[in-house]
Structure 1
Amino acid sequence: MTPRTARLCAGVLLVAAAVFGVVRLTAAPTAPAASARATPTAHATATASINAAPLDPLTIAAMRARAYAASTLTTVRSDGDQGGYVNSVVSFVSDGLIEYALQSVPDGSRPAAGWPVVILSHGYIDPRTYRTDDSSYAQFIATLARAGYLVLKPDFRGHGRSQGVPEGGYLSPVYTYDLLNLISTVKVDPRVDASRIGLFGHSLGGYQALRAMVISTSVKAAVFMSAVVGSLDDIFFHWSTVTATPTAAPPPVQQQVAQSLIANRGTPKTDPNFYNEASAINYVSASTAAVQIDEDVSDSQVPKLFSDHLYAALQAAGKTVEYVPYLGDDHQFTRNRAAVLGNVLAFYRTHL
């Protein structure tokens, strides 16, 4: 999960494809766009209504307007008891694509109302090498499953055996579609308490979880860990607070998605209204979820600034939110793992 930079040209911009599938952009210094993270203006809304232009798929309004069909979680392979919970690989359907997830079900009798569920939205792993049973989140899954939560870690489209094209997590909405389709599927699963659905988003996965949280009213609690939760203006222009370590370039399709969007829409400096409408942080007032933000103050891969901005937005909207900083660690919380696991579990026990 190390950052990576691959250079692409888009007008005066230098596009760097970096950590977790993000497209980081740097440009010649320009004056900051007014109200870069402001809610879209009434004038922009009125103009859109008069013109009756189709919604751009990247906007939150377009994602809200879509239907997210429920399917069935079908067991593909059982990995047996892991000591307090049973792992299996399951499939579900997202937009007609067969996708997969690691499912962890607590041992013991199912509660009368069903298991509370946590959907774990994973950080960037190159889709060409991603594995469903990768051990990156094993401790998080074990802690939650042993505490009585059914945990699902979905493979976004194009990852592992999941069908579809891995377009990337920031300048394409498709991973969020997968998450929202899975939420619909979970809600009709007879083993699950549909009133107790939580999200856990790490890094790139946090961006998908934030989108889902402001779109679905079924999300009761959400944890964001070292997450990319800033606006698209932040992603384009405020990622420079950390230094990327160059590695392999991302899949060509992700580079193409970025180039196409910039060619058609410019950047948050040239088209702030569009990028504001595509930034989930501007819509947190619609969320019904309690939120915990876990952030290492020296994260070398995702700027702490992103978490700061989300915390401020949630506070301004009067939402239930706690912000837990950690010292002397990094993006994966390897040193503070016990502390973050304890804080996450305590949060879900209180709010989920």
Structure 2
Amino acid sequence: MKFHVLPFVLLGHLLSAPALAQSAAALARVDAADLSIAKARSRAYPGSALKVVRTLNAGVNYSRQVVSYQSEGLTIYALLTVPAGPPPKGGWPAIVFNHGYIPPNVYRTTERYAAYQDAFARAGFVTLKSDYRGHGSSEGEALGAYYTPGYTTDVMNALSSLKKDPRVNAARIGMWGHSMGGFLTLRAMVIDRSVKAGVIWAGVVGNYDQMMNSWNNRPPATIPQRVLNLRKQAVAKYGTPDKNPAFWNSLSANSFLKDLGGPVQLHIGAADAEVPVAFHNSLAQQLRRAGKSVQHYVYPGDDHNLSRNLGVALQRSVAFFRDRL
């Protein structure tokens, strides 16, 4: 399976004429400043109890359910796995699972990332993979992660919702993120120190200067121009990272690494055609300078999904979470 990651943003669903007009009005109110880490920290993320929508066939030693939770008044769907048997004293350790870019209108809760999530579920972790707004059946519009705060908000509410589950130990929660999900994982970890450990695969973890100037992926022609314009609107209002570094640094998790509540493990393929290896190299250096614990793996010749080293990367990721959670 190949999952693409793009430096731009997508609209999740085909919209009717009235919905398009409403969407255009909503886009006019989008402000990149809402992505600042300070604003993210000032918001409340109450989440909700996880509501079971559908019970799926069980895994080897865990149950699987499609659940929903609330995020800014939107119903967001997710895939929940829970180890079989009674939970240990204090509850199961848990992992919020942040998937990478998949075209929102073809995304399905139960498809993609199954082998990844299965590895952690088998190892005795509760896992929750949020669909994000506008993906599959989730309400809202899919405006991407990099210039609007919606996906970050959905991840933070997924975290809060998971903490409400009585089977989960709220003090033993980590995050796993791939590609765009790596961007969301790093943001969540600097927003909320209760996230005790993070594993990032092929993550979009450069700062905004790197993302804008060192990331050459081209967006597909199917992305609506009004959505592509979000980046242009932000630059027009706030200037480029070299002209206004204070503003763009205020949006970047990389500027707040001293606030991390736990260690980070990084994995990327040296032949990744989607995300520059330099993003991971820079983050590893920044983490060390911030005095934070980091494990940094670069796999020679491997791709965006670590296809050649999938087993090794999963083993390392599971072991990391077992040690830290």
TM-score normalised by L of structure 1: 0.82
| SS class of match (1:341) | helix
Give 1:222's match in structure 2, choosing from 186, 189, 198. Answer: 198
Matched, 1:194 2:173: no
Amino acid at match of 2:59: Q
The within-5 A match list for 1:166-315 is 166-240=142-216, 244=217, 247-252=220-225, 254-315=227-288
Q: What SS does the aligned partner of 2:108 have?
A: coil
Residue equivalent to 1:69:
46
Q: Is the 8 A contact 1:21 1:168 kept in 2?
A: no
Offset, 1:268: 1.0
- Unaligned runs of 5+ residues in structure 1 are 4-18, 25-53
- What RMSD in Å do the two structures reach over aligned CA positions? 1.9
Deviation (angstroms), 1:218 = 1.1
Deviations, residues 167-212 of structure 1 (Å, cap 9, x unaligned): 1111111100111111111222211000111100100011111110
Q: What is residue 331 of structure 1 aligned with on the other side?
A: 304
- Per the TM alignment, residue 266 of structure 1 is displaced from its structure 2 partner at its CA by 2.5
Answering whether residue 82 of structure 2 is matched by residue 124 of structure 1, we say no
Distance 2:115 2:226 in 1: 32
Greater strand share, structure number: 1
Match of 1:23 among 4, 8, 11: 8
- The answer as to whether partners of 2:128 and 2:162 remain within 8 angstroms in 1 is no
Decide which structure has greater helix share.
2
CA change 1:100–1:253 in 2 (3 A) is: farther
Distance 2:127 2:50 in 1: 13
Deviations 1:311-338 (A, max 9, x none): 1111011111111121221001111111
CA change 1:271–1:329 in 2 (3 A) is same
The answer to whether the aligner puts 1:160 opposite 2:136 as a matched pair is yes
Once residues 222 and 139 of structure 1 are traced to their aligned partners in structure 2, the CA distance between those partners, rounded to angstroms, is 19
Residue of structure 1 in register with 2:69 after alignment: 92
Could you tell me the percent identity over the aligned residues?
A: 41
Contact between 2:271 and 2:301, CA under 8 Å: does it hold in 1? yes
Q: Aligned partners of 1:144, 1:20: CA distance in 2, in Å?
A: 23
SS of match in other structure, 1:76: strand
Q: How many residues align?
A: 304
* AA matched with 1:207: F
**1:263 Cα deviation after fit:** 2.4
Supply the AA of the counterpart residue of 1:322.
Answer: Q
Report the alpha carbon displacement of residue 246 of structure 1 after superposing the two structures with TM: 6.6
Give the Cα–Cα distance (whole angstroms) in 1 for the partners of residues 252 and 288 of structure 2.
17
Structure 2 unmatched runs, 5+ = 10-30
Secondary structure in 2 matching 1:336:
helix
**CA deviation after TM superposition for structure 1 residue 55, in Å:** 10
Counterpart of 2:18 in structure 1 is none
- Taking the aligned partners of 1:245 and 1:268, their CA distance within structure 2 comes to 20
Could you tell me how far 1:91 is from its partner in structure 2? 0.2
Give the 3-state SS of the residue equivalent to 2:5 in structure 1.
helix
SS at structure 1 position matched to 2:197: strand
State which structure, 1 or 2, has the greater radius of gyration over its C-alpha atoms: 1
Cα distance, 1:77–1:252 mapped onto 2, change above 3 Å: farther
Aligned with residue 114 of structure 1, among 91, 109, 116: 91
Q: Which amino acid aligns with 2:201?
A: M
SS at 1:80's partner residue?
coil
Supply the AA of the counterpart residue of 2:119. T
Q: CA deviation at 1:248?
A: 4.5
Distance 1:111 1:269 in 2: 51
